[in-house]
Amino acid sequence: MRKLIYVFILASSIVLIGAGCSKEGPAGAKGATGAVGAIGANGAAGPTGAQGSPGNANVMQFNYDTIMVNASSSAYYTFPGMTAGILDSSVVMVYYSQYVGQWNVAGGCGPSCLYQTIIYTDPTPFVSVYLQNPDGSAYSGAGVLWLKSRLIIIPASEFGKRELYDIRDYNSVKNYYGFKD
């Protein structure tokens, strides 16, 4: 029996000693960062994107230098290949810059509404912009110097996308069609 008690005491001692030991100690200091690994291989190509909206390579922009417009002289525009058919089947927009960095759309009041601009096309063919007083009477003010002007011709097939830009804002039209200054 004594032997059994010794075995029991020995077994209990081993269990108590084992229970008092732990496998984890306090965290050690952080080691140095390892070297950067090799660049991995490129992944597989992604899926093909959705078809973009159809474009129109027929949109045209023509730039003109300084023009003086007054009671007896309109701004007069032509471009190579202009035909009455092109003008009759397209949207014609004219923008002018009376002050550096400011673009105005023809077909409304000029800067400070000192005059209004009227745009028309002629089957000869040409595009013209003339001035009127704000009340619609014949222009009676001083001559107006436009530093630059731009004529934009948009075929009817493209103009249906008008909601994508503001026709009154040259920069909006320019950005939509990718025109360069």
Residue 37 included in any domain: no
Residue 9 included in any domain: no
The domain in which residue 138 lies consists of 60-170
Least confident of 2-6, 49-53, 103-107, 177-181: 2-6
Residue 75 included in any domain: yes
Q: How many domains does the chain have?
A: 1
pLDDT (tens digit per residue) in 124-169: 899 999 999 999 999 999 999 999 999 999 887 655 555 677 777 8
Residue 66 included in any domain: yes
SS (H, E, C) the chain: CHHHHHHHHHHHHHHHHHHHCCCCCCCCCCCCCCCCCCCCCCCCCCCCCCCCCCCCCCCEEEEECCEEEECCECEEECCCCCCHHHHHCEEEEEEEECCCCCCEECCCECHHHCCEEEEEEECCCEEEEEEECCCCCECCCCCEEECEEEEEEEEHHHHCCHHHCCCCCHHHHHHHHCCCC
Residue 116 included in any domain: yes
